[in-house]
Amino acid sequence: MRTVLHMLRKEFLQIFRNKGMLPIIFVAPIVQLLVLVHAADFEVRNVRLMVNDMDGSPTSRALIDRFGASERFQVTVTHCCFEKGMAALDAGATDAFLRIPVGFEQDLRRSMHGSLMLDLNGVDGQFASLVLLYSRSIIGNEQVDLMQRLHGLRDAPKPPVDAIPRFWYNLGMDYKNLMVPGLLAVLVTLVGMFLSSMNIVREKEIGTIEQINVTPIRKWQFILGKLLPFWFISLFLLAIGLALGKLFFHIPIEGSVLLLFAFAGVYLWVTLGMGLFISTVSDTQQQSMFLSWFFLVIFVLLSGLFTPIENMPHWAQVITWFDPVSYFVQVIRLVLLKGSSAMDIARHFGIVVLYAAAINGLAVMNYRKRA
Protein backbone atom coordinates (compact mmCIF):
# COMPACT_ATOMS: atom_id res chain seq x y z
CA MET A 1 0.00 0.00 0.00
CA ARG A 2 2.90 2.34 0.74
CA THR A 3 4.09 1.77 -2.79
CA VAL A 4 0.72 2.90 -4.11
CA LEU A 5 1.01 6.06 -2.01
CA HIS A 6 4.41 6.77 -3.54
CA MET A 7 2.85 6.30 -6.97
CA LEU A 8 -0.03 8.60 -6.09
CA ARG A 9 2.25 11.34 -4.84
CA LYS A 10 4.30 11.18 -8.02
CA GLU A 11 1.20 11.19 -10.23
CA PHE A 12 -0.43 14.16 -8.51
CA LEU A 13 2.85 16.09 -8.64
CA GLN A 14 3.09 15.42 -12.36
CA ILE A 15 -0.56 16.14 -13.13
CA PHE A 16 -0.56 19.47 -11.33
CA ARG A 17 2.76 20.41 -12.87
CA ASN A 18 1.65 19.78 -16.42
CA LYS A 19 0.67 23.25 -17.57
CA GLY A 20 -0.71 21.96 -20.84
CA MET A 21 -2.94 19.39 -19.22
CA LEU A 22 -4.40 21.25 -16.25
CA PRO A 23 -6.72 23.51 -18.25
CA ILE A 24 -7.91 20.48 -20.23
CA ILE A 25 -8.72 18.68 -17.01
CA PHE A 26 -10.42 21.45 -15.10
CA VAL A 27 -11.36 24.38 -17.30
CA ALA A 28 -12.45 22.70 -20.52
CA PRO A 29 -15.15 20.46 -19.01
CA ILE A 30 -16.68 23.34 -17.08
CA VAL A 31 -16.70 25.66 -20.08
CA GLN A 32 -18.11 22.85 -22.19
CA LEU A 33 -20.88 22.29 -19.68
CA LEU A 34 -21.83 25.96 -19.56
CA VAL A 35 -21.70 26.41 -23.34
CA LEU A 36 -22.90 23.06 -24.65
CA VAL A 37 -26.10 23.22 -22.63
CA HIS A 38 -27.15 26.15 -24.79
CA ALA A 39 -25.94 24.52 -27.99
CA ALA A 40 -28.13 21.53 -27.25
CA ASP A 41 -31.29 23.65 -26.96
CA PHE A 42 -34.09 21.73 -28.64
CA GLU A 43 -36.67 24.48 -28.41
CA VAL A 44 -37.68 26.07 -31.66
CA ARG A 45 -38.26 29.80 -31.92
CA ASN A 46 -38.44 32.32 -34.75
CA VAL A 47 -39.25 29.83 -37.46
CA ARG A 48 -39.22 31.72 -40.75
CA LEU A 49 -42.49 31.13 -42.52
CA MET A 50 -43.48 32.12 -46.06
CA VAL A 51 -47.10 32.01 -46.97
CA ASN A 52 -48.86 31.84 -50.34
CA ASP A 53 -52.34 33.10 -49.53
CA MET A 54 -54.22 32.26 -52.71
CA ASP A 55 -57.56 32.51 -50.97
CA GLY A 56 -57.22 36.05 -49.69
CA SER A 57 -60.30 35.62 -47.51
CA PRO A 58 -60.88 36.90 -43.95
CA THR A 59 -60.43 33.33 -42.73
CA SER A 60 -57.05 32.87 -44.37
CA ARG A 61 -55.89 36.27 -43.14
CA ALA A 62 -56.95 35.44 -39.60
CA LEU A 63 -54.95 32.21 -39.77
CA ILE A 64 -51.84 34.07 -40.97
CA ASP A 65 -52.26 36.62 -38.21
CA ARG A 66 -52.37 33.87 -35.68
CA PHE A 67 -49.08 32.47 -36.99
CA GLY A 68 -47.59 35.94 -36.88
CA ALA A 69 -48.74 36.50 -33.32
CA SER A 70 -47.02 33.35 -32.12
CA GLU A 71 -43.50 33.83 -30.80
CA ARG A 72 -42.51 30.63 -32.53
CA PHE A 73 -43.15 31.93 -36.02
CA GLN A 74 -42.03 34.87 -37.99
CA VAL A 75 -44.12 35.38 -41.10
CA THR A 76 -41.80 36.88 -43.68
CA VAL A 77 -43.94 37.02 -46.82
CA THR A 78 -47.69 36.58 -47.12
CA HIS A 79 -48.16 36.51 -50.87
CA CYS A 80 -45.52 34.44 -52.44
CA CYS A 81 -45.97 32.36 -55.57
CA PHE A 82 -45.24 28.62 -55.51
CA GLU A 83 -41.96 28.84 -57.43
CA LYS A 84 -40.61 31.60 -55.22
CA GLY A 85 -41.60 29.80 -52.06
CA MET A 86 -40.00 26.53 -53.11
CA ALA A 87 -36.87 28.39 -54.28
CA ALA A 88 -36.64 30.07 -50.88
CA LEU A 89 -36.97 26.68 -49.19
CA ASP A 90 -34.22 25.31 -51.44
CA ALA A 91 -31.97 28.27 -50.70
CA GLY A 92 -32.57 27.97 -46.97
CA ALA A 93 -34.11 31.45 -46.91
CA THR A 94 -37.20 30.10 -45.17
CA ASP A 95 -37.87 27.17 -42.84
CA ALA A 96 -41.46 26.51 -43.88
CA PHE A 97 -43.81 27.38 -46.73
CA LEU A 98 -47.55 27.42 -46.13
CA ARG A 99 -50.00 27.41 -49.05
CA ILE A 100 -53.64 28.33 -48.59
CA PRO A 101 -55.58 27.21 -51.68
CA VAL A 102 -58.25 29.22 -53.50
CA GLY A 103 -61.65 28.53 -51.99
CA PHE A 104 -60.30 27.58 -48.57
CA GLU A 105 -62.93 29.62 -46.76
CA GLN A 106 -65.68 28.45 -49.07
CA ASP A 107 -64.77 24.82 -48.57
CA LEU A 108 -64.86 25.26 -44.83
CA ARG A 109 -68.25 26.92 -44.98
CA ARG A 110 -69.70 24.30 -47.27
CA SER A 111 -68.23 21.03 -46.05
CA MET A 112 -66.59 21.99 -42.74
CA HIS A 113 -63.37 20.73 -44.27
CA GLY A 114 -60.47 22.61 -45.82
CA SER A 115 -56.91 21.64 -46.71
CA LEU A 116 -53.66 23.51 -46.26
CA MET A 117 -50.33 22.59 -47.74
CA LEU A 118 -47.26 22.91 -45.53
CA ASP A 119 -43.77 22.44 -46.99
CA LEU A 120 -41.03 21.97 -44.41
CA ASN A 121 -37.29 21.80 -44.55
CA GLY A 122 -36.83 18.23 -43.39
CA VAL A 123 -33.02 18.15 -43.34
CA ASP A 124 -33.18 18.34 -39.56
CA GLY A 125 -35.98 15.90 -38.81
CA GLN A 126 -36.30 16.90 -35.21
CA PHE A 127 -36.66 20.56 -36.07
CA ALA A 128 -39.20 19.83 -38.81
CA SER A 129 -41.36 17.68 -36.59
CA LEU A 130 -41.40 20.37 -33.92
CA VAL A 131 -42.41 22.99 -36.52
CA LEU A 132 -45.19 20.68 -37.64
CA LEU A 133 -46.31 20.21 -34.06
CA TYR A 134 -46.45 23.96 -33.44
CA SER A 135 -48.22 24.58 -36.76
CA ARG A 136 -50.85 21.99 -35.92
CA SER A 137 -51.49 23.50 -32.55
CA ILE A 138 -51.89 26.99 -34.05
CA ILE A 139 -54.20 25.69 -36.74
CA GLY A 140 -56.12 23.72 -34.11
CA ASN A 141 -56.69 26.82 -32.02
CA GLU A 142 -57.77 28.76 -35.06
CA GLN A 143 -60.23 25.99 -35.90
CA VAL A 144 -62.11 26.53 -32.67
CA ASP A 145 -62.56 30.24 -33.44
CA LEU A 146 -63.48 29.42 -37.00
CA MET A 147 -66.31 27.16 -36.00
CA GLN A 148 -67.65 29.91 -33.81
CA ARG A 149 -67.53 32.50 -36.54
CA LEU A 150 -68.72 30.45 -39.46
CA HIS A 151 -71.48 28.62 -37.73
CA GLY A 152 -72.46 31.28 -35.22
CA LEU A 153 -71.95 29.00 -32.27
CA ARG A 154 -71.72 30.75 -28.95
CA ASP A 155 -69.67 28.16 -27.14
CA ALA A 156 -66.72 26.79 -28.98
CA PRO A 157 -67.25 23.11 -29.67
CA LYS A 158 -64.78 21.03 -27.79
CA PRO A 159 -63.13 18.05 -29.42
CA PRO A 160 -64.74 14.84 -28.18
CA VAL A 161 -61.59 13.56 -26.53
CA ASP A 162 -58.96 15.83 -25.03
CA ALA A 163 -55.76 14.66 -23.42
CA ILE A 164 -54.39 17.06 -20.84
CA PRO A 165 -50.63 16.42 -20.56
CA ARG A 166 -48.58 16.86 -17.43
CA PHE A 167 -44.87 16.32 -17.79
CA TRP A 168 -43.85 14.58 -14.62
CA TYR A 169 -40.29 14.95 -13.28
CA ASN A 170 -39.75 17.89 -15.57
CA LEU A 171 -42.90 19.96 -15.25
CA GLY A 172 -41.83 22.89 -17.37
CA MET A 173 -40.40 20.58 -20.05
CA ASP A 174 -37.18 22.48 -19.49
CA TYR A 175 -34.57 20.95 -21.76
CA LYS A 176 -31.81 22.20 -19.46
CA ASN A 177 -32.98 19.88 -16.73
CA LEU A 178 -32.42 17.05 -19.15
CA MET A 179 -29.22 18.29 -20.73
CA VAL A 180 -27.16 19.44 -17.75
CA PRO A 181 -27.14 16.07 -15.97
CA GLY A 182 -26.63 14.21 -19.24
CA LEU A 183 -23.76 16.41 -20.36
CA LEU A 184 -22.19 16.11 -16.95
CA ALA A 185 -22.23 12.34 -17.28
CA VAL A 186 -20.54 12.54 -20.67
CA LEU A 187 -17.90 15.05 -19.59
CA VAL A 188 -16.92 13.04 -16.54
CA THR A 189 -16.63 9.95 -18.75
CA LEU A 190 -14.47 11.81 -21.22
CA VAL A 191 -12.00 13.02 -18.62
CA GLY A 192 -11.64 9.58 -17.04
CA MET A 193 -11.10 7.72 -20.28
CA PHE A 194 -8.94 10.16 -22.23
CA LEU A 195 -6.62 11.23 -19.47
CA SER A 196 -6.01 7.86 -17.87
CA SER A 197 -5.11 6.23 -21.18
CA MET A 198 -2.89 9.11 -22.26
CA ASN A 199 -1.15 9.22 -18.92
CA ILE A 200 -0.13 5.56 -19.01
CA VAL A 201 0.94 5.73 -22.64
CA ARG A 202 3.07 8.76 -21.82
CA GLU A 203 5.26 6.58 -19.58
CA LYS A 204 5.71 4.24 -22.53
CA GLU A 205 6.62 7.13 -24.80
CA ILE A 206 9.25 8.64 -22.52
CA GLY A 207 10.58 5.17 -21.66
CA THR A 208 10.15 5.36 -17.89
CA ILE A 209 7.80 2.38 -17.90
CA GLU A 210 10.79 0.13 -18.55
CA GLN A 211 12.48 1.45 -15.44
CA ILE A 212 9.26 0.96 -13.45
CA ASN A 213 9.03 -2.61 -14.71
CA VAL A 214 12.40 -3.56 -13.24
CA THR A 215 11.55 -2.17 -9.81
CA PRO A 216 9.74 -4.38 -7.29
CA ILE A 217 6.56 -2.38 -7.89
CA ARG A 218 3.72 -4.77 -8.76
CA LYS A 219 1.53 -4.31 -11.77
CA TRP A 220 -1.60 -3.78 -9.71
CA GLN A 221 0.17 -1.13 -7.64
CA PHE A 222 1.26 0.68 -10.77
CA ILE A 223 -2.21 0.49 -12.32
CA LEU A 224 -3.94 1.63 -9.14
CA GLY A 225 -1.47 4.47 -8.76
CA LYS A 226 -2.20 5.53 -12.34
CA LEU A 227 -6.00 5.26 -12.23
CA LEU A 228 -6.84 6.53 -8.74
CA PRO A 229 -5.85 10.16 -9.41
CA PHE A 230 -8.28 10.32 -12.32
CA TRP A 231 -10.95 8.67 -10.21
CA PHE A 232 -10.63 11.49 -7.69
CA ILE A 233 -10.42 14.17 -10.36
CA SER A 234 -13.53 12.84 -12.14
CA LEU A 235 -15.56 12.77 -8.93
CA PHE A 236 -14.35 16.27 -8.14
CA LEU A 237 -15.48 17.42 -11.59
CA LEU A 238 -18.88 15.82 -11.02
CA ALA A 239 -19.25 17.80 -7.79
CA ILE A 240 -18.22 21.04 -9.49
CA GLY A 241 -20.55 20.35 -12.39
CA LEU A 242 -23.51 19.68 -10.11
CA ALA A 243 -22.85 22.88 -8.19
CA LEU A 244 -22.62 24.91 -11.42
CA GLY A 245 -25.76 23.25 -12.76
CA LYS A 246 -27.64 24.17 -9.61
CA LEU A 247 -26.24 27.69 -9.60
CA PHE A 248 -26.59 28.63 -13.25
CA PHE A 249 -29.33 26.38 -14.57
CA HIS A 250 -31.28 25.67 -11.38
CA ILE A 251 -31.42 21.99 -12.13
CA PRO A 252 -33.52 20.05 -9.63
CA ILE A 253 -31.78 17.67 -7.25
CA GLU A 254 -34.64 15.43 -6.16
CA GLY A 255 -32.75 12.30 -5.18
CA SER A 256 -29.80 11.56 -2.96
CA VAL A 257 -26.53 13.15 -4.06
CA LEU A 258 -24.74 10.47 -2.05
CA LEU A 259 -26.41 7.76 -4.12
CA LEU A 260 -25.36 9.54 -7.30
CA PHE A 261 -21.75 9.69 -6.15
CA ALA A 262 -21.84 6.06 -5.08
CA PHE A 263 -22.98 5.11 -8.56
CA ALA A 264 -20.44 7.43 -10.19
CA GLY A 265 -17.69 5.94 -8.02
CA VAL A 266 -18.42 2.50 -9.44
CA TYR A 267 -19.17 3.68 -12.95
CA LEU A 268 -15.84 5.52 -13.19
CA TRP A 269 -14.01 2.22 -12.94
CA VAL A 270 -15.62 1.33 -16.25
CA THR A 271 -14.22 4.44 -17.95
CA LEU A 272 -10.85 4.09 -16.22
CA GLY A 273 -10.72 0.43 -17.19
CA MET A 274 -11.39 1.44 -20.80
CA GLY A 275 -8.58 3.97 -20.53
CA LEU A 276 -6.28 1.27 -19.20
CA PHE A 277 -7.30 -1.12 -21.96
CA ILE A 278 -6.68 1.50 -24.62
CA SER A 279 -3.28 2.24 -23.12
CA THR A 280 -2.30 -1.43 -23.39
CA VAL A 281 -2.95 -1.48 -27.13
CA SER A 282 -1.40 1.94 -27.90
CA ASP A 283 2.24 2.88 -28.18
CA THR A 284 1.80 6.62 -28.60
CA GLN A 285 -0.47 9.23 -27.10
CA GLN A 286 -1.92 9.95 -30.55
CA GLN A 287 -2.95 6.35 -30.94
CA SER A 288 -4.61 6.32 -27.56
CA MET A 289 -6.43 9.55 -28.35
CA PHE A 290 -7.81 8.23 -31.62
CA LEU A 291 -8.96 5.05 -29.94
CA SER A 292 -10.59 6.89 -27.04
CA TRP A 293 -12.26 9.19 -29.49
CA PHE A 294 -13.58 6.31 -31.58
CA PHE A 295 -15.23 4.67 -28.59
CA LEU A 296 -16.48 7.89 -27.05
CA VAL A 297 -18.28 9.09 -30.17
CA ILE A 298 -20.18 5.82 -30.37
CA PHE A 299 -20.89 5.74 -26.67
CA VAL A 300 -22.10 9.32 -26.55
CA LEU A 301 -24.33 9.11 -29.63
CA LEU A 302 -25.92 5.92 -28.31
CA SER A 303 -26.12 7.15 -24.74
CA GLY A 304 -29.55 8.70 -25.09
CA LEU A 305 -28.13 12.13 -24.33
CA PHE A 306 -29.42 13.75 -27.52
CA THR A 307 -31.93 11.24 -28.84
CA PRO A 308 -34.10 9.07 -26.60
CA ILE A 309 -33.02 5.44 -26.71
CA GLU A 310 -36.70 4.45 -27.08
CA ASN A 311 -36.75 6.18 -30.45
CA MET A 312 -33.85 4.19 -31.83
CA PRO A 313 -34.40 1.13 -34.04
CA HIS A 314 -34.39 -2.11 -32.11
CA TRP A 315 -30.90 -3.17 -33.23
CA ALA A 316 -29.48 0.15 -32.05
CA GLN A 317 -31.25 -0.26 -28.72
CA VAL A 318 -29.54 -3.61 -28.33
CA ILE A 319 -26.18 -1.90 -28.86
CA THR A 320 -26.98 0.64 -26.16
CA TRP A 321 -27.18 -2.21 -23.64
CA PHE A 322 -23.40 -2.40 -24.02
CA ASP A 323 -22.90 1.35 -23.80
CA PRO A 324 -21.74 2.20 -20.27
CA VAL A 325 -22.38 5.91 -20.82
CA SER A 326 -26.09 5.24 -21.37
CA TYR A 327 -26.41 3.81 -17.86
CA PHE A 328 -24.78 6.80 -16.27
CA VAL A 329 -26.88 9.24 -18.33
CA GLN A 330 -30.01 7.39 -17.25
CA VAL A 331 -29.03 7.17 -13.60
CA ILE A 332 -27.98 10.80 -13.26
CA ARG A 333 -31.31 11.88 -14.78
CA LEU A 334 -33.32 9.43 -12.70
CA VAL A 335 -31.69 10.45 -9.44
CA LEU A 336 -31.66 14.19 -10.07
CA LEU A 337 -35.02 14.66 -11.83
CA LYS A 338 -37.12 11.77 -10.57
CA GLY A 339 -35.53 11.28 -7.17
CA SER A 340 -35.02 7.56 -7.77
CA SER A 341 -33.82 5.50 -4.84
CA ALA A 342 -31.08 2.88 -4.66
CA MET A 343 -33.70 0.18 -5.28
CA ASP A 344 -34.86 1.89 -8.45
CA ILE A 345 -31.39 1.93 -9.98
CA ALA A 346 -30.30 -1.45 -8.66
CA ARG A 347 -30.33 -2.91 -12.17
CA HIS A 348 -28.08 -0.13 -13.48
CA PHE A 349 -25.77 -0.65 -10.51
CA GLY A 350 -25.48 -4.37 -11.17
CA ILE A 351 -24.72 -3.91 -14.85
CA VAL A 352 -22.08 -1.28 -14.21
CA VAL A 353 -20.38 -3.45 -11.58
CA LEU A 354 -20.24 -6.33 -14.06
CA TYR A 355 -18.98 -4.04 -16.77
CA ALA A 356 -16.25 -2.61 -14.54
CA ALA A 357 -15.12 -6.08 -13.51
CA ALA A 358 -15.07 -7.31 -17.10
CA ILE A 359 -13.23 -4.39 -18.67
CA ASN A 360 -10.67 -4.15 -15.88
CA GLY A 361 -10.06 -7.88 -15.97
CA LEU A 362 -9.52 -7.73 -19.71
CA ALA A 363 -7.28 -4.66 -19.46
CA VAL A 364 -5.12 -6.12 -16.70
CA MET A 365 -4.76 -9.41 -18.60
CA ASN A 366 -3.73 -7.53 -21.70
CA TYR A 367 -1.40 -5.30 -19.70
CA ARG A 368 0.42 -8.31 -18.21
CA LYS A 369 0.84 -9.90 -21.59
CA ARG A 370 2.36 -6.87 -23.21
CA ALA A 371 4.42 -5.20 -20.54
Partner 1 sequence: MSDAAIHARGLTKRFGDFTAVDHIDLDVRPGEIFGFLGANGAGKTTAIKMFIGLLKPTEGEASVAGFDVYRKSASIRRHIGYMSQRFSLYNDLTVLENIRFYGGVYGLRRKELEQRGDEMIAHLGLEQHKDTRLSELPLGWKQKLAFSVALIHDPRIVFLDEPTGGVDPITRRQFWEMIYAAADRGITVFVTTHYMDEAEYCHRVSIMVDGVMAACATPEELKRQFSAASMDEVFYQLARAGQRTE
Whichever of 21 and 353 has its CB closer to partner 1, that residue is 21
CB of 369: closest distance to partner 1 in angstroms?
A: 11
Closest approach, Cβ 209 to partner 1, in A, equals 9
Do 197 and 278 contact (CB within 8 A), yes or no? Answer: yes
Kindly indicate which of the ranges 1-9, 83-91, 143-151, 166-174 contains the residues binding partner 1, using the contact rule CB under 8 A. Answer: 1-9
Measured distance CA(303)–CA(323) in Å, rounded: 7
Nearer Cβ to partner 1 (223/274):
223
Comparing C-alpha atoms, which of 290, 265, 286 is closest to residue 349? 265
User: Residue 311 carries which DSSP code?
Assistant: G
For the chain, what is the largest distance between any 2 Cα atoms, rounded to a whole number of angstroms? 94
Which residues ranging from 216 to 255 are in contact with partner 1 (CB under 8 A)?
Answer: 216-217
- Stretch of residues binding partner 1 (CB under 8 A), selected from 3-11, 146-154, 326-334, 336-344: 3-11
Among the listed residues 14, 143, 170, 256, the single contact to partner 1 using CB under 8 A: 14
- Cα–Cα distance, 113 to 252 (Å, whole number): 46
Q: Closer to partner 1 at the Cβ: 19 or 314?
A: 19
Task: Please state the closest distance from residue 3 (CB atom) to partner 1, in A.
Answer: 6
Q: Which of 215, 310, 313, 314 binds partner 1 (CB under 8 A)?
A: 215
Cα gap 274→360, rounded to integer Å = 7
- Min CB(2)–partner 1 separation in Å: 7
DSSP state of 79: B
Rounded-to-integer distance, Cα 289 and Cα 194, Å: 7
Among positions 68-97, residues that touch partner 1 (CB under 8 A) are none
Q: Which is nearer to partner 1, 126 or 213 (CB)?
A: 213
Residues 6+ apart with CB under 8 A from 371: 209, 213, 219, 280
Residues in 175-214 at the binding interface with partner 1, rule: CB under 8 A = 206-208, 210-214
Do 325 and 303 meet the contact criterion of CB atoms below 8 Å apart?
yes
Q: How far is Cα 255 from Cα 102, in angstroms, rounded to an integer?
A: 57
CA–CA distance, 73 with 47 (Å, rounded to integer): 5
User: At closest approach, how far in Å is the CB of 370 from partner 1?
Assistant: 12
Per rule CB under 8 A, count of chain residues that contact partner 1: 22
Interaction between residue 6 and partner 1 (CB under 8 A) = yes
By the 8 A CB rule, do 211 and 165 touch? no
Site residues (vs partner 1, CB under 8 A): 2-3, 5-7, 9-10, 13-14, 17-18, 206-208, 210-217
